[in-house]
């Protein structure tokens, strides 16, 4: 019963936050002189209105799923990996090198690219992890600094080392190496399948294996885990590496599936978005993936909305941001003893009656 | 010689926004509030500062409104963390996502999509009489914009406030041991809200400085990680006013150095030089390790009823 109540709150809070965020979004739309109902209709239509649109939404959800799972996994172990963006970018840079410079093409090259991406991302994630366990240093600041370094490094790659003639971008990944679409007429590629597989794997690992349980225990109460003899430091480092590898794999998959070349702005913002999605999804891998689809739907749909009603796409960014602002505050609110008292005062009668019956 | 003096001049200019933002964090953490949302606060400050200055033509009004915007946004953080006891780090991250989104939304609504860069006139420098004529040091320290003087004055005030005044010691006690502070009759909740007001204002000013005193345009990457570097500066500066000043001068120097080196080029891609401030932050943090010097109750929720 207690568990059911908890999972019900975990579901209700994000949903209410989304509704509240949309309500404020609607007010903003109205203030901008558009009809909110119409704008929201176009938003929905743009995101899910046709097979092609659904395909685009899923395609845009793919990289978000990777960075969201990256944040989710690290946070489950009690460390804050804010470096998803850097790990994503470094993964794509490694994949780009393999795709353009290894001399091989085809599915084998694609697999090699994905492995290279995951390795590079894992390595990039290992830096804040290692500094945390050896120097006790704040992993958040380090991982964010590494985001900037990765973005600049990618800049060197596309403006110098792998530059495509006069344009500041790399050459495109050879067609044979690209990740193909799963269904014709829909834009999403096998990258989505990989993302979902990673998500399911994480879910299985975290909730159905004993190592996963220990990892969650470390995240839940580090001191208790230490007294239990869990090798905390090893867990922290491993979770950083795995988390980075997921983001790096995502960068590689995004390059091979959708973007095809490194260019200014590649991966920008995905890291923090990932953190937001993981938090809204209550750090549950599957819920997190659904939130990624929701974020992607907002982005795809807002383009249609802008074209049809003139409401700028950045309204959808505001809605997204409000969802996180509300859901995190909401989760804190329901944990307050005052809230529990309030809930009992309002619904208390019924609760007591049930108690009598039982 | 001119390379060195230009470098030092740029160091002071680059250190000032960091200094405002780092002092914001210092005031916040001294009351036990770890606020990692500085990047977002500075982003909204830079936008509002720019926009108000663009409309009114007054840099001072811009900076004032930047501070007010910082306060307004930080009140969301304050309610969530002080009253609702939300996790400081998680909520700071939420602010880092929310505030920049709000800033770019306002910019796009006001200027329209794809508009060319609007520019404003930067705040002018004011030389302090007599002092500015001191060779070398005069230009460096006494011939700057008033914001530079304000920043340094604020450091001096902070040092005195936290070490020499009763109010400052009371304020600090909230960050060290809120329950003990409460038994002495200090209104812990009020101090925490006050800390959030100061933090929002200073971070907003730091952001507004970037658009009204440093670069005369606004773009989405204006703050460029300074909110996080400021966090590192507080750790590096050991949570003291003087320490934070030195840390900010160091990071400002790194920033100034990378700009100078970019100009000199040495045949390397310019991005490598741009990495310098970020790499320096990592190296510094790794080098100082985790000596716990910060306020003891930092980041912990305070609930009056719990004993």
Mutation target for A interface from B34, B89, B94: give the one with most A CBs within 10 A.
B94
Q: Give me the CATH number covering residue B34.
A: 1.10.3470
Strands B143-144 and B126-127, bridge-based pairing? antiparallel
The ipTM of this complex is 0.91
Residue B253 belongs to a domain: yes
Residue B129 belongs to a domain: no
Helix (H, G, I), strand (E, B) or coil at A335: helix
**Chain A nearest-CA residue for B96:** A272
The pLDDT value recorded for residue B215 is 85
A84 and A247 Cβ atoms separated by less than 8 Å? yes
Q: Of the candidates A194, A202, A160, A184, which has an alpha carbon nearest to the alpha carbon of residue A286?
A: A202
Q: Is the pLDDT of residue A164 over 70?
A: yes
Q: What average pLDDT does chain B have?
A: 89
Cβ–Cβ contact A24 with B under 8 A: no
Residue B137 belongs to a domain: no
Residue A311: pLDDT band (50, 70, 90) is confident
Residue A11 belongs to a domain: no
Match 């995951």 to its residue by tokens.
A118
Helix (H, G, I), strand (E, B) or coil at A191: helix
Residue B104 belongs to a domain: yes
Residue A353: pLDDT band (50, 70, 90) is very low
Structurally, chain A folds into a number of domains equal to 1
Residue B302 belongs to a domain: no
Find chain B residues with C-beta within 8 A of A141's C-beta: 228, 231-232, 235, 281, 285
Residue A142 belongs to a domain: yes
Q: Of the candidates A349, A56, A73, which has an alpha carbon nearest to the alpha carbon of residue A211?
A: A73
Contacts with B, A 226-265, CB within 8 Å = none
B27 and B21 Cβ atoms separated by less than 8 Å? no
Residue B72: pLDDT band (50, 70, 90) is very high
Structurally, chain B folds into a number of domains equal to 1
pLDDT digits (tens, 9 = 90+) for A222-261: 888 888 888 889 999 999 999 999 999 999 999 999 999 9
Does the distance separating the beta carbons of A324 and B282 come in below 8 Å?
A: no
Q: Give the pLDDT mean for B96-121.
A: 83
Task: Give the separation between CA A153 and CA A88, rounded to whole angstroms.
Answer: 13
Minimal Cβ distance to A145: which of B80, B86, B281: B281
Q: Which residue has the higher pLDDT, B220 or B156?
A: B156
Q: Which residue has the higher pLDDT, B264 or B193?
A: B193
Q: Is the pLDDT of residue B113 over 70?
A: no
Q: Give the pLDDT mean for B84-107.
A: 91
Domain of A129 in residue numbering reads as: 60-290
Q: pLDDT over 70 for what percent of chain A?
A: 96
The pLDDT value recorded for residue A115 is 97
Residue A337 belongs to a domain: no
Task: Give the separation between CA A234 and CA A213, rounded to whole angstroms.
Answer: 15
Does the distance separating the beta carbons of A314 and B85 come in below 8 Å?
A: no
Match 């404003």 to its residue by tokens.
B120
Residue A134 belongs to a domain: yes
pLDDT digits (tens, 9 = 90+) for B200-240: 999 999 999 999 988 888 888 889 899 999 999 999 998 99
Find chain A residues with C-beta within 8 A of B109's C-beta: 32, 312, 314
Residue A355 belongs to a domain: no
Q: Of the candidates B139, B146, B141, which has an alpha carbon nearest to the alpha carbon of residue B125?
A: B146
Find chain B residues with C-beta within 8 A of A273's C-beta: 97
Domain of B250 in residue numbering reads as: 7-112+145-288
Residue A204 belongs to a domain: yes
């Amino acid at each position: 019963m207690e568990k059911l109540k908890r999972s019900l709150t975990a579901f209700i809070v994000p949903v209410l936050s989304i509704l509240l965020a949309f309500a404020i979004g609607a007010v903003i739309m109205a203030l901008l002189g558009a009809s909110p109902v119409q704008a929201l209709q176009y938003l929905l239509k743009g995101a899910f209105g046709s097979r092609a649109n659904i395909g685009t939404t899923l395609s845009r959800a793919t990289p978000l799923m990777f960075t969201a799972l990256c944040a989710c996994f690290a946070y489950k172990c009690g460390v804050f990996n804010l470096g998803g963006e850097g790990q994503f970018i470094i993964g794509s840079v490694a994949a780009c090198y393999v795709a353009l410079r290894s001399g091989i093409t085809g599915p084998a090259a694609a697999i090699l690219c994905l492995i290279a991406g995951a390795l590079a991302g894992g390595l990039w994630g290992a830096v804040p992890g290692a500094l945390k366990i050896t120097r006790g240093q704040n992993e958040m600041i380090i991982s964010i600094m590494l985001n900037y370094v990765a973005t600049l490094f990618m800049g060197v790659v596309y403006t110098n080392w792998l530059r495509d003639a006069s344009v500041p971008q790399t050459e495109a990944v050879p067609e044979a190496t690209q990740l193909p679409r799963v269904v014709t007429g829909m834009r999403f590629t096998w990258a989505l399948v990989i993302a979902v597989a990673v998500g399911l794997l994480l879910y299985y690992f975290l909730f159905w294996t004993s190592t996963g349980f220990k990892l969650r225990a470390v995240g839940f109460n580090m001191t208790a885990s230490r007294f239990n003899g869990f090798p905390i430091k090893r867990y922290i480092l491993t979770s950083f590496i795995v988390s980075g590898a997921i983001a790096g794999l995502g960068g590689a998959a995004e390059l091979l599936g959708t973007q095809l070349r490194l260019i200014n702005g590649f991966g920008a913002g995905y890291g923090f978005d990932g953190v937001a999605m993981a938090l809204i999804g209550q750090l549950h891998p599957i819920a997190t993936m659904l939130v990624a689809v929701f974020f992607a739907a907002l982005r795809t749909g807002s383009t249609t909305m802008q074209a049809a009603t003139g409401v700028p796409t950045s309204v959808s960014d505001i809605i997204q941001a409000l969802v996180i602002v509300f859901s995190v505050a909401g989760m804190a609110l329901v944990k307050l003893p005052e809230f529990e008292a309030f809930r009992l005062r309002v619904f208390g009668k019924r609760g007591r009656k049930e108690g009598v019956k039982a | 010689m001119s390379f060195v003096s230009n470098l030092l001049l740029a160091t002071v200019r680059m250190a000032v926004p960091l200094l405002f933002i780092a002092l914001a964090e210092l005031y916040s953490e001294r009351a036990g509030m770890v606020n990692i949302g500085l990047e977002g606060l500075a982003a909204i400050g830079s936008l509002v500062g720019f926009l108000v200055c663009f409309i009114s033509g007054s840099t001072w009004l811009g900076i004032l409104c930047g501070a007010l915007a910082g306060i307004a946004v930080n009140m969301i953080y304050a309610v969530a963390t002080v009253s609702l006891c939300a996790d400081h780090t998680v909520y700071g991250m939420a602010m880092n996502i929310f505030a920049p989104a709000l800033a770019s939304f306002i910019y796009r609504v006001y200027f329209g999509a794809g508009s060319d860069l609007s520019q404003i006139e930067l705040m002018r420098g004011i030389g302090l009489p007599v002092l500015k004529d001191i060779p070398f040091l005069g230009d460096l320290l006494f011939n700057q914009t008033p914001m530079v003087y304000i920043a340094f004055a604020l450091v001096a005030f902070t040092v005195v406030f936290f070490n020499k005044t009763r109010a400052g010691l009371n304020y600090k006690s909230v960050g060290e041991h809120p329950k003990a502070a409460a038994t002495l009759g200090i209104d812990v909740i009020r101090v925490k809200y006050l800390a959030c007001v100061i933090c929002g204002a200073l971070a907003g000013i730091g952001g507004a400085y970037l658009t009204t005193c440093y670069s005369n345009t606004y773009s989405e990457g204006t703050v460029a990680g300074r909110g996080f570097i400021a966090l590192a500066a507080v750790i590096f500066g050991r949570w003291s006013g003087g320490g934070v000043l030195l840390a900010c001068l160091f990071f400002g120097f790194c920033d100034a150095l990378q700009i100078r080196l970019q100009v000199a080029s040495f045949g390397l891609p310019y991005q490598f030089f741009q990495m310098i401030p970020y790499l320096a932050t990592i190296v510094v943090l790794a080098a100082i390790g985790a000596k716990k010097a910060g306020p003891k109750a930092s980041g912990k929720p305070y609930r009056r009823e719990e004993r």
